[in-house]
Structure 1
Amino acid sequence: MGTALVTGASAGLGLEFAWQLATARHDLVLVARSEERLTRLAGQLEAAAGVHVQTLVADLTDAGDVERVADRLRQDQDPVGLLVNNAGLGLNQRFVTGDLAAEVKALDLMVRTPLVLSHAAAGAMVARGRGAILNVASVAALLASGTYSAHKAWVRSFTEGLAVELKGTGVTATALCPGFVHTEFHERGAIDVSAYPEVAWLNADKVVATALADVRHAVVISTPSLRYRAVSAVARLAPRSAVRAVGRYRKAIEQGEG
C-alpha cells in the first residue's frame, strides 16, 4: 500500500487506522481539524513505529480544505497507495425541526468529501496501476434512521459502483460497514446510546483489522463481526416497512422518547 492517507485521523476509527497502518510500517498522511491532536499523534507514531507521518490540518466541510487534501492525493512524489475516507459526524436532531446548516455540513463531510477525494485518489492510482480506496459506511446504510442512514447508503452504493468501474485496473474500492463501535463518535455527537446492550458494540481494533484484511483481499463490502453480517442480511431481506419501523424505534430511543 505504501503511504496511506486517513481522514478523521485524530480520534475514533481514524485513530485506530493510523496506529494499525503505522504498525504495519506504512508511512502516513493524517487529516483532521485539530492541529494539536494531529501533531501529538504524528510524534507518537513516528517514535513508536519508525514511520514518516505528514499532517494536513483541514476542515473537510470546507471545499477549499478538501481540495488541498485532493491535491495531496494527486501527487506523484510519495504517492498515496491507500485512501481511508473515515471522517464523519453524528447529528442528534430530527431533520424537520433540526438545524439545516448542520445537515448541510454533515452532507458535505460524509458525501461530498468522499466523492472528491475518491476521484482524486482513483485518478492517480489508476495511472500507476495500483492502490486502494476504503470508504467508511455503516450498517445504518441499510436502515431508515435519518439523514445519517442516507449518507451512509450513498457511500455504500457509490463504493460498489466505483469497485465495478475499477475492475481490472489494479485499484480496488471497499466500503466498511460496521455497527456500533466503542469510540468517541457518539459522545462527540451528544448521542445517548445507553439503551443499547453491550452485545451490540464492537471494538475499534477488531473493526479496523477486519477492514484492512478485506482491503488486502479486494473485498467490496466489509462488515465486521458475524452479528452485523446477520443484521445486514435481515435488513436486506426484510420488508422496507419493517425496516422503517425499526428506524422509528431507534430515533425514539436516541431522542429520549422510549
Structure 2
Amino acid sequence: MAEDIEPITTSEQSLKRRRTVAPREAARKMIAPMRSIAIFGAVGALVAAVALPAYAASSGSSDATATLQQVAAGDAQSLVVASQATASPLDRSTYSATTPEEIAEKKAEEAAKARAAAAAEAAAASAGSMPVDIGNYALVSPGSGEVRYPLPGGSYYVSRTLGSGHDGADMVASAGTPIYAAAGGVVRVSQSGYGGYGEAIVIDHVIGGKVVSTLYGHMIYGSRAVSAGQRVEPGQMIGQVGNTGRSYGAHLHLEVRLGGSLVEPISWLAANAG
C-alpha cells in the first residue's frame, strides 16, 4: 500500500520563500555600501595623483627643487635652462649696430677718426719734414775742388766713433739747410725710408782713381732733388737737412766709404775738400 504524502500548505511555502530571499537581500545590502566606498576610493586616488606632484613642486624646499636641466636629463633634445637665471640690464656698449641707421652712424664715426688720424700724421710730418725755402743759400757749395763740404759754412760738425752702431758723422744744421754732393758721381740710391736713414741718398764717385761712396741720411720728406742713376756734379744741391728715420733732431748723417771700407768722414773732408 502506498505511503501517504502530506500536502504542503500555503503557509509553509511562504515561509520557505522568505528563507530563500532573505539572504539575497542581506547580501545586496552589504555590497551596495562597499561599492560606494570603492568608487570614492578610486576618485580620491585620481585626485591625489594629479594634486600631489603640483603640491610637492610648490611646497618643497629650495634644495629639493628640480631644475629644468634635471627634468630634461632623459631627453637629449629638451631645452636646458638654468633654474635660477636672472635678467641683467642691457648696456648699449655691449652690442653692435644692427639697423641701417646705426651702421651708417658707425661708419661715419670710423671715417671721422681715420681723417683725424691722417690729419694729425700730416701735421706731425709737416713740422720739420717738408721742403722749405732755402732763401739765400747757394744752389752749389762754395769751392772749386773735386771734393766739397756737404753743408754750408757755419754748420756744426760732430764726429762719431765708427763701429759702435753709428757708421758716420752727424752734422748739425737747421731743418731745410741745403745738402750738397761731396763730389761728382752717379746716384746709386735715392729713397724714402732707406732703413734707419729715412730720406737718404747714396752717390758713387771715383776720386783720385779710387772708388768712393758717400751717404746722406735723415733728409726732409720730399726734399730729394736727384734720382737713382742720375749724374751729379761736385757741390750740387741734392736735398735738405731733416729729421727722418732713426733720428733725434735735425741734422745730416754723412757716411764715407773708400774701396768699400768705412772711413771717418770729418777727417776725410778736412784732408780732401777745397
TM-score band by shorter chain is under 0.3
Bigger Rg, structure 1 or 2: 2
Calculate the TM-score normalised by the size of structure 2: 0.21
- Which structure has greater helix proportion? 1
